[in-house]
Amino acid sequence: MSRFALTALAVIAIGFASTTGIAAPPGYFDLVPGVTLMTGESWSDGAKNYRLYGVQSCLRSTRYTNSAGELADCGDASLAMFAAYIKDTKPVCAPVIVLGELTYVMCYSSVGGQQLDLGTLLVSSGFAFAALDKDGLPYSANYAVAEQTAREEKRGLWQFSDVQHPAIALAIEANKPAGNSQQ
């Protein structure tokens, strides 16, 4: 077999292996069902805590009015979508930065034979948001664009008029006078 044919065969084999989910590449790890989900963008495997870098899910106990006219928990909706993406797309993650006991990661998911960024999937579906820094700027411009598109197209939680961006809720809480916060 020629060197060209061997190289072509190796490239095809590597491409096939990466799309079938056989094993995570070196430096990456599989995000598998069975981890403990803490929010719609964070989880624990029992030894470490992880969070998707640049992604903010709805906060638990923040409410929105669903299409049946009932109040629903926005954080639960984000968490349920995150769980579904983990189950259905078998994400593979890589550490980006470790701050204390929290490891921020970037993950990709396999969808229709393509590898897509999990954060983009969550944000563009309207079940998560672009996380903002202390100056109100997004950590990821790509996530900010995906969020704006989801909002304009009323995807996911954006279809409900009373959904509040978590950054707004966090800012309101942070600006309350000391001793006046509700837990």
CA dihedral 41, 23, 10, 109 (to 10 degrees): -20
Summarised one tens digit per residue, pLDDT across range 150-171 is 999 999 999 999 998 998 878 7
pTM: 0.81
Summarised one tens digit per residue, pLDDT across range 29-38 is 999 888 999 9
The residue extents of the domains of the chain are 33-173
Percent of the chain with pLDDT over 90: 70
Given a cut of 50, whether residue 40 has pLDDT beyond it is: yes
User: How many CB atoms lie under 10 A from the CB of residue 120?
Assistant: 20
Percent of the chain with pLDDT over 70: 84
Given a cut of 70, whether residue 121 has pLDDT beyond it is: yes
Confidence of residue 173 (pLDDT cuts 50, 70, 90): confident
Structure tokens at 60: 């638990």
Class of domain 33-173: mainly beta
